[in-house]
Chains A and B, each alone.
Chain A
Amino acid sequence: MRKSLRVVLAAAALIAATGTALADGGSLIVRKQTGSLVVSVFSGESPVRIGTSDLSVMVQKASDQSAVMDATVMLRLTTRTPAGDVTEVVAPATHAKATNKTLYAANVTLPFPGLWRLSAEVTSGAETAGVTADLNVLPQAPPVETYWPYFSVIPFAILLFLFNRWLRGRRELAGPRAQP
């Protein structure tokens, strides 16, 4: 086998490693300075869909942009249900739930699609700050949309197998000189 061809294996094995180890890809929902604090709210997924959503909050000092690590952060989301009632989801955001430990994060379960009012209330010592923003929550994506890359392994593998058979057939037809 030629050296240039053997890289195929290494390629096949490692491509998935770099492909699956994704970064956060978080999106900024709102950033606002209130008093001496700057509050930014991010969503883990964009767009946000019903079900569990990862929301994170960054609190910084306005003076030097340094992260405030000892704040208390409360996330509040409200919307009108299809029946017309007001639904509220409240979740404390903490460092423990954040991957990036300079952020405060919460897993929030949003039961209805539509326009939600998001507010983040921050208390740091004597200082309080709050930001609000509208959050458009989409219906749940169909599972096939979410998992199609995994399901596509089957037709891809079958095509590879058929190709393998075709190549082997050609090799057998070509006789022993074509053997590796």
Chain B
Amino acid sequence: MASWSLSVPAIALLLVIALVYVRGWRRGRRLIRDQRDDSRLIAFLAGLGVVFLATESPLDSFDNLYLAAHMTQHFLLMMVAPPLVLLGHPVLPLLRGLPKPLVKEGLGPFLTWRPLRRFFELLSSPLVAWGVFSFSTIFWHLPYFYELALHSRFWHGAQHASFFWSGVVFWWLIVEPGPGKSKWPRWVAIPYLLTSDLLNTAISAAFVFSGRILYPSYAAIHGSQLETLKDQTLAGLVMWIPGEMIYLIPAFTITVQVVTGSRTRHNYGVTRVRRALAEAGANRLLLLARWRRPLQIAMLAVAVAVVADGFFGPQITPLNLAGVLPWIHWRALSIFALLLVGNLFCMACPFTFVRDLGRKVFPARLRWPRQLRNKWIPAVLLLVYLWAYEAFGLWDSPWVTAWIIAGYFVAALVVDGLFRGASFCKYVCPIGQFHFVSSLVSPKEVGVKDAQKCKSCQTYDCLRGNERSRGCELYLFQPKKAGNLDCTFCLDCVTACPQDNVGLLSIMPAKTLVTDPYRSSIGRLSKRTDLAVLVLLFVFGAFVNAAGMVTPVMMWEHGWHARLGAHAMPLVVALFVLAGAVILPGLAMVLAGGLNLFTLGGRGVMETVRRFVFALVPVGFGMWAAHLLYHFSIGWDAAWPAVQRVVAGTATAFAMPSVPDWLTAAQILVLNAGLLLTLWVVWRVAIGSTGRVRAAVALMSPWAVVSVGLYLAGAWILLQPMQMRGMMH
């Protein structure tokens, strides 16, 4: 039983499907509560559980050694998992669980396409469904194709997929998962099941009684013919006896229903619960706001421990908290939080907590200078970080890491001790800007729930604050706020709003980049050169930062280092970073903008360039996420030796780096998602600007080329050997 072949991607996918279903199931219950809801939820999750059991349990580990194990696996995939999944009536919950724009705009046209509808009608007709299921069963049990699947991962996957899906097609008619009523009379199910049972009996009998070995691979493994035949007989019995029951029990039940006419449709009582649950949601958000201080205190405690260990602990990266926690864990977890929710790091920021404490001493009476009310300072700091990270190996120096964090505390204290509001967050902090830009692709946004309520508001509590809470320190006025830029997720506005009209809203990632409305405290994105430059550094910096860790680039850098002299490394890295994060994007902008000149005839080219620059955020975020996923997936346990050393004085368990099989594929998929989102935004910006398809294609083409170029660079980087950092190796 120890032989579980756990595959991270498969488990992750099953979990995502379960989450989408549960989300849709819960949304459905907000509208109508049905007595059968719980049993449907249990059935669907049980169905996924059976898929997990079939593909991840010891059955999977033994299937190339024992035919009986393989047949049990197939039995689960064809006969158990599909009916359970269908008993969960999965269609509506899965649709409801997905983002609404995706269902409406993305899937809607396909779901209403007549040829596809006809195809599925055909597929769900008894004769075709029976034929598909029977063909799949016979085809894959023919020795040639069975052996093919046994020796090829690809064909093995295809075999399992076809078993599961032909099972879904077959059991659809029996379970009738809806929505809507089946157009076939119920009695059809009886011959449908009985004939399938006959086929199953014939194949099982061939296994049990044939007396010859059907699949030679098992004979090669078992060595003896007798053992192989025993295994084959057991496999036949696995198919035969439980298979009989699976076919005959529903056939009997349906026969009784048809004969006695006892099949009735109940009118289940419905309860409308939308209002109660909406209120509960709002309360949960206020609870989250109350958690901010404890989160900040926890982060502060971690930061103090990291700084202390960085200054006074051993300067051995894998054994020092400052060598692992900020570089491997914090960076990756911040990105995952941005991907799943939003800017949670800024919410729990320990620097602003210290700043808040400092406010009790420092008056903060000055206004931030007008000339500096832009993003040029953080843009320069971000560029310096990209350079210093590689040039001085920040990740490999706990002492320097500690200095950076301590410097951050001092800077936050001084800036916000002198200047009003959250000037440090808004105009200085490069980490904050990194998170602001990243959160443009987050699925959550702090926003107004009902715009009408705000029209009658005279007090502007979300901005000015009141006795319940201070207002927005970054000067974001909720009714005019669009997107997550400059939002620290502090939730002060949520607490301050007396109407309880500010909430955490679900949004389509990157959708706020499609249009260019006036944004509170930011203005229009198309007018902000400083923000566009910051975004370019964020996007191209993602590729430069990752490229700095791959072998070909490192060898190139070391080659120049050797040629130029002992202290030339900072210069070499500076040239690399300048080329990748400044010159290259500059050239790309000039070329793309120059081509746009022809399309636009010289009108508003700079505004257009600035708008398209923001469209590159998703592909840049995808690269950051793919890169940090690498460090986290191979180094997530690297914190343990450092913590062990701090707590117990000595470390016994060292994190030995190993690259999981699934990692490169997962990184490519993350980068794919980034590129597709970028291309979608590019298209929407172009069609929104021109209104005509041909002109939009002409306008977007240079930007699509830039996006694809970035993607190809990212793909190349991901396929190179990457340096493992913060671990023993």
Contacts and interface: CB of A to CB of B under 8 A. Distances in A.
Given A9-B94, A28-B220, A28-B221, A150 B668 contact: yes
A24 B63 contact: yes
B64 A33 contact: no
Interface in B1-39: 2-5, 7, 9-10, 13-14, 16-17, 20
Nearest to A38: B223
B123 A10 contact: no
Interface in A1-43: 1-11, 13-28, 31, 33, 38, 40, 42
B187 interface: no
B94 A10 contact: yes
A127 B14 CA distance: 46
A66 B291 CA distance: 58
Interface stretch (A70-78, A99-107, A117-125): A99-107
A23 B64 contact: yes
A23 B16 CA distance: 21
Contacts of B91: 3, 6-7, 9-10
A20 B676 CA distance: 22
Looking at chain B's contact residues, the main secondary structure is: helix
Contacts of B665: 147, 150
Given A7-B172, A147-B668, A158-B679, A22 B156 contact: yes
A152 B550 CA distance: 24
B116 A5 contact: yes
Interface stretch (A85-93, A128-136, A164-172): A164-172
A81 interface: no
A153 interface: yes
Given A3-B180, A9-B95, A38-B223, A21 B111 contact: no
Contacts of A3: 91, 177-180
B597 interface: no
A55 interface: no
A33 B227 CA distance: 15
A1 B10 contact: no
B222 A17 contact: no
A23 B156 contact: yes
Contact of B13 (A7, A17, A40): A17
A153 B715 CA distance: 13
Contact of B112 (A13, A98, A147, A180): A180
Contacts of B85: 10, 14
Given A16-B13, A17-B13, A2 B121 contact: yes
Nearest to B711: A154
Interface string B661-692: 00011001100100110011000000000000
B157 A18 contact: yes
B113 interface: yes
Contact of B106 (A4, A14, A100, A164): A164
Nearest to A98: B3
A108 B521 CA distance: 59
Contacts of A154: 672, 675-676, 711
Contact of A17 (B17, B152, B680): B17
B60 A7 contact: no
Chain B CB within 10 Å, residue with most, of A28, A58, A163, A178? A28
A26 B165 CA distance: 25
Looking at A1, A20, A161, A164, the one whose CB has the most chain B CB atoms below 10 A away is: A20
B255 interface: no
Contact of B123 (A4, A19, A21): A4
A32 to B, nearest CB: 9
Given A9-B91, A23-B156, A18 B51 contact: yes
B92 to A, nearest CB: 7
B720 to A, nearest CB: 9
A3 B117 CA distance: 9
Contacts of B390: none
A164 B110 contact: yes
What bracket does the count of chain B residues touching chain A fall in? 35 or more
A25 B151 CA distance: 5
Contacts of A1: 111-112
Contacts of B111: 1, 5-6, 8, 180
Interface string B52-84: 000110101111110000100100010000000
B120 A2 contact: yes
B715 A22 contact: no
Nearest to A180: B112
Interface size class of A (residues with CB under 8 A): 35 or more
Interface string B161-179: 1011100100010000111
Nearest to B224: A65
Given A147-B665, A164-B109, A102 B3 contact: yes
A2 B675 CA distance: 33
A151 B160 contact: no
B187 to A, nearest CB: 20
B107 A180 contact: no
A140 to B, nearest CB: 11
A37 B48 CA distance: 41
Given A8-B107, A167-B109, A101 B2 contact: yes
Interface in B204-236: 217, 220-224, 227
A18 B17 CA distance: 12
Interface in A54-70: 58, 65
B120 A5 contact: yes
B95 A6 contact: yes
A157 interface: yes
Contacts of A6: 91-92, 95, 111, 179
Nearest to A13: B17
A19 B221 contact: no
Contact of B10 (A4, A20, A40): A20
B227 A65 contact: yes
Contacts of A82: none
A151 B51 CA distance: 26
A7 B64 CA distance: 32
A143 interface: yes
Interface centre among A9, A13, A23 (most CB of B within 10 A): A23
Contacts of B334: none
B90 interface: yes
Contacts of B14: 17
A9 B61 contact: no
A18 B106 contact: no
A20 B14 CA distance: 11
B110 A8 contact: yes
Contacts of B121: 2, 4
A66 B161 CA distance: 33
A98 to B, nearest CB: 8
Given A4-B120, A17-B17, A102-B3, A23 B63 contact: yes
Given A2-B180, A21-B51, A24-B61, 17 more contacts: A2-B121, A3-B91, A4-B121, A4-B123, A5-B116, A8-B107, A9-B98, A14-B85, A19-B160, A20-B10, A20-B157, A21-B7, A100-B61, A101-B2, A151-B668, A167-B110, A180-B108
- In the A-B complex, the 3 residue pairs with the closest CB atoms: A21-B55, A4-B120, A6-B91
28 contacts: A6-B179, A7-B172, A13-B94, A14-B17, A15-B165, A17-B13, A18-B77, A21-B7, A21-B160, A22-B7, A23-B63, A28-B221, A38-B223, A46-B151, A65-B227, A99-B3, A99-B61, A100-B58, A100-B62, A147-B665, A147-B719, A151-B715, A154-B675, A154-B676, A163-B110, A164-B109, A167-B110, A180-B112
